[in-house]
Amino acid sequence: MRAARLIKMVLLLQARSSMTGAELARELEVSERTVTRDALALSEAGVPVYADRGRSGGYRLIGGYRTRLTGLGRDEAEALFLSGLPGALRDMGLQDAASAARLKVSAALLPSLRDAPHSAAQRFHLDAPGWYQEPRTPDLLPLIAEAVWADRRIRASYRRRDAEVERELEPYGLVLKAGVWYLCARAEGGSFRVYRIDRFSAAEADGEVFERDEDFDLPGFWAKRAAEFARSLLRAEVVVRVTEAGAARLPYVTDRSAAEEALAAAPPPDAVGRVTLTLPVESLDVAYSQLLTLGAEAEILEPAELRDRFAATATRMRDLYA
């Protein structure tokens, strides 16, 4: 325990030109008296730690001393690639590993580059959750994340509609989408599937390491499944005629891929520049809410029931503003 603290103290002093006893105590989570004893122990071991006395004093390394104790462990190296996601690291239980990795990298950098971590943090921040919702961390996320990193099989109970099923899974990867955590795993039979982690009611790692399929590509797999899921929701169709302005706005009010494909497959515009297209939609109710935002830039042609609904809405609005 003390050895790790002494190493961290050296790395902190190597990463910064000087630190006060209070600053070191806060970083190391010890008392200032302990910092004084640790500095003396380092000096006796040959590490040139120098203490400046006085109001503006502090501890520093002299003589251009640089330690070679900056090698990254596997967990630290993996966590470093996620260090721009502090919330995700905390949720997965990797915050300490990421902190140690950043410290080692800072200590290894040239003095002219040591402000890079702060500079980057002030120029980029990823806020993953969507608006108007409070992100919730699934209780089982740290356990599942540990199994993902260690390539260990898990046995889990999963809530599926009104039933609960037992699954033995090989956890390949985690995805954070709009504040919701998903597990991409290989199930019994060899197929890859996606599970919402907040629907796991129980899980345990059985300790058995599985052999990963090296051809598995997590980003590619997720992109394909996400597109398939989005397309599976589009179970109805409407025929709509849009103006040039309506065509430009259509991808922003409905499913973007579906709108772009429908526009690409549509015949040329008519004499007044309007395009008639067949648009896949989730339902007629959803289509009503989405296409209503286009106002007079869109005319519903089919189905008749949706056209009648738009006509009735237009009549009510005309009477309202008469």
pLDDT: which is higher, 50 or 311: 311
Q: Place 189 in a pLDDT band, splitting at 50, 70 and 90.
A: confident
What are the structure tokens assigned to 154, written together?
Answer: 């898990």
Mean pLDDT lowest among 18-22, 29-33, 73-77? 73-77
> In sequence order, which residues have a C-beta less than 8 Å from that of residue 296 and are 6 or more positions away?
none
Q: Quick: pLDDT tens for 220-253.
A: 899 888 888 888 888 899 999 999 999 999 999 9
What pLDDT score was predicted for residue 53? 75
Residue 114 carries which DSSP code? Answer: T
Question: Using one digit for the tens of pLDDT, what is the confidence trace for 35-54?
Answer: 888 888 888 778 888 888 76
pLDDT band at 129 (very low <50, low <70, confident <90, very high): low
Query: pTM for the full model?
Result: 0.55
SS3 82: coil
Q: Is 263 a residue whose pLDDT tops 90?
A: yes
Measured in degrees and rounded to the nearest 5, phi and psi for residue 167 equal: -135, 140
Decide: 186 and 169 in contact? Cβ < 8 Å: yes
228 or 98, which is more confident: 228
- Specify burial of residue 81 (Cβ count, 10 A radius: 0-12, 13-18, 19+): exposed
What is the H or E stretch that residue 299 is in? strand 298-302
Cβ count near 44 (within 10 Å): 9
Of 169, 191, 173, 190, which Cα lies nearest the Cα of 182?
173
Q: What is the pLDDT of residues 141-156, one digit of tens each?
A: 889 988 988 899 999 9
